[in-house]
Amino acid sequence: MTVVLGIETSCDETGVGLVRDGVLLGDALSSSMAEHVRFGGVVPEIAARAHVSALVPCVREALASARLTLDDVGAVAVTSGPGLSTALHVGVGAAKAYAQALGVPMYAVHHLAGHAAADTLAHGELPSRSVVLIVSGGHTSLLLVRDLVRDPVVHLSDTMDDAAGEAFDKVARLLGLPYPGGPAIDRAAREGDPTAVAFPRPLTGRNDPPLGFSFSGLKTAVARHVEAAAAAGRELSVPDVAASFQEAVADTLTLKAIRACREHDVSTLVIVGGVAANSRVRALAEQRCAEAGIELRVPPIRLCTDNGAMIAAVGDLLVRAGARPSDARLSVQPSVELTWAQLDPTADPDDAEPSVA
Ligand code: KG4
Ligand code: ZN
């Protein structure tokens, strides 16, 4: 059985993971988050430079935690998109170097397929059909997933504007909370009343697309509320606004995710990505899935946010499916859509994608 080394550098986390046969053997993570805080968002050049210094130490740390050496690595998987171009280049360059030096195949992986695969490390193989709600800083999508590495992923809906995590980050800024906004709002909301402000539930009207997402209007509603309080000289309760905003997001996400399961006759919902770490999203999803008789799978928090283990997990699935390696000349794809978990498989004149046997 092959040990897969996974490398993730699409944003501000340098992640390395080692997976064999569906089992996480060891991993390491280094974040440049602290260096971006004063800019209120990730600065691509700073992120890339941090990846350059953190990558090799992370590989060593992951190997040490798995009690393995580089000689045990049988394949390399790397995020080649989507993400920040400068940041992706560091991971892809490193993956090529490791694969070449070790004489092992390399698999280029879609970052969002990694988020979905993260759950397999905690809860085992995905069922033959599942609805996956991906909620991260850059994406909010409902996906119909069959075999993650053999079948194309079907997009049931993608956000029309801001991603859920982006809305958390922007609302946190409006409330004077630190970056990243999600964890800060989650913390502030614990002391607040989720019914204090009746924020809108976007696209939940009778004539709206049943599975559609849009978060920019909700963010504007919070901005108007903050402005109105300032104009009236009213003191703003940050915990109440945070809790009410978080409730609106959690309500909308879970409502639509369960609707997607029903519409497509799917009995398993998987919630992944940074916003899946949100305590209210997790609690409300649990409650509503139990009521609807739907099995809910949410990875532990450290596997929800960006990490290398999730990329190794996709690599491991590809290896076990007999996929052809990715083309060694591959480059980064900063805005590639998720259709296939593997990017740039080597060409086979006899058939089209995917490359699996
Ligand atoms: O998946 P991720 O780590 O990176 C991307 O691929 O985007 O997601 C990062 C996003 C950020 O917007 C962050 O604010 C949000 O996930 N996030 C949260 C929580 N933890 C992280 N949002 C809400 N509640 C949280 N506890
Ligand atoms: Zn991510």
Span from the CA of 138 to the centroid of ligand 2 (angstroms): 8
Nearest CA owner, ligand 1 atom 23: 182
Q: What is the pLDDT of residues 149-163, one digit of tens each?
A: 999 999 999 999 999
Per-residue confidence at 226, pLDDT binned at 50, 70, 90? very high
Tell me if 111 is assigned to a ligand binding site: yes
Ligand 1 pocket, Cβ-based, cut-off 6 angstroms:
11, 136-138, 165, 168-169, 180-183, 186, 273-275, 277-278, 305-306
Predicted pLDDT of residue 354: 74
The owner of tokens 């990490």 is 307
Span from the CA of 113 to the centroid of ligand 2 (angstroms): 10
Mean pLDDT computed over 332-344: 96
Give the whole-angstrom CA distance, residue 170 versus residue 166.
6
Mean pLDDT computed over 281-291: 98
Mean pLDDT computed over 44-72: 98
DSSP 6: E
Residue type, 356: V
Give the whole-angstrom CA distance, residue 75 versus residue 52.
21
Q: What is the pLDDT of residues 179-194, one digit of tens each?
A: 889 999 999 999 999 9
Q: Given a cut of 90, is residue 255 above it in pLDDT? A: yes
Closest ligand (CA of 188): 1
Nearest CA owner, ligand 1 atom 8: 274
Nearest CA owner, ligand 1 atom 10: 137
Which token pair is 289? 């899935």
Closest ligand (CA of 277): 1
Which token pair is 167? 């809305």
Nearest CA owner, ligand 1 atom 16: 274
Q: Given a cut of 80, is residue 308 above it in pLDDT? A: yes
Predicted pLDDT of residue 349: 67
Among candidate residues 100, 86, 92, the one with its CA nearest the CA of residue 48: 86
Angle formed by the axes of helices 181-189 and 279-292, nearest 10°: 70
